[in-house]
Structure formats: structure tokens, C-alpha cells
């Protein structure tokens, strides 16, 4: 489902104008991004929790030369699905 399809689906469910739904989704994304930047967590009711995890530094390989290279530590977004969502998806 792309962004336009999501906006259409939500519009049909709640009966609000597409422009309002699109604006709300953009602001939701901005709020979530800002919260994760500061190291916080965001709980999405009925879906799960977004958080930030630190990926440890490691040694990788350049695929074209095979030379070893250092990959630095970095923060990455992480999503943990609720049990109810996992059960709904797996059947």
C-alpha cells in the first residue's frame, strides 16, 4: 500500500477530507521522527512500539576488493509488533 492508497483508505474509514488525512500523516511522521531522534519511544496503539537501538561497531568487507573495513556504531530505528498484530498476521 503506497501513501495515496493509505490516505484513500483512511478517508473512507473516518470520512474526513483527503487533505486533512494527508496533513495528519505528515505531522505524525514528523512527531515520531523527532521523538526517535531524542532517543525516545513511540507506542502506536494496536500496532506496536517504535524505538531506537544501537548497532555495534563491526568489521565488514568491501565486496569488490575483499579488503576489511571498519563499520562504525550507529543508531537505527526498531519496531516491535504487539502480540495481537503478530497473531493477526500469522493467522
- Along the 91 residues of the chain, how does pLDDT read in single tens digits? 999 999 999 999 999 999 999 999 999 999 999 999 998 999 999 999 999 999 999 999 999 999 999 999 999 999 999 999 999 999 7
Q: What is the pTM of this model?
A: 0.78
Q: Which residues contact 2 (CB under 8 A, 6 or more apart)?
A: none
CA distance 10 to 40: 27
Amino acid at each position: 500500500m503506497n501513501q495515496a492508497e493509505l490516505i484513500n483508505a483512511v478517508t473512507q474509514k473516518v470520512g474526513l477530507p483527503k487533505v486533512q488525512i494527508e496533513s495528519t500523516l505528515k505531522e505524525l511522521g514528523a512527531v515520531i521522527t523527532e521523538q526517535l531522534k531524542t532517543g525516545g519511544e513511540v507506542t502506536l496503539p494496536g500496532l506496536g512500539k517504535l524505538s531506537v537501538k544501537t548497532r555495534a561497531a563491526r568489521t565488514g568487507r568491501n565486496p569488490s576488493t575483499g579488503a576489511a573495513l571498519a563499520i562504525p556504531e550507529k543508531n537505527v530505528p526498531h519496531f516491535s509488533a504487539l502480540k495481537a498484530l503478530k497473531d493477526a498476521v500469522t493467522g
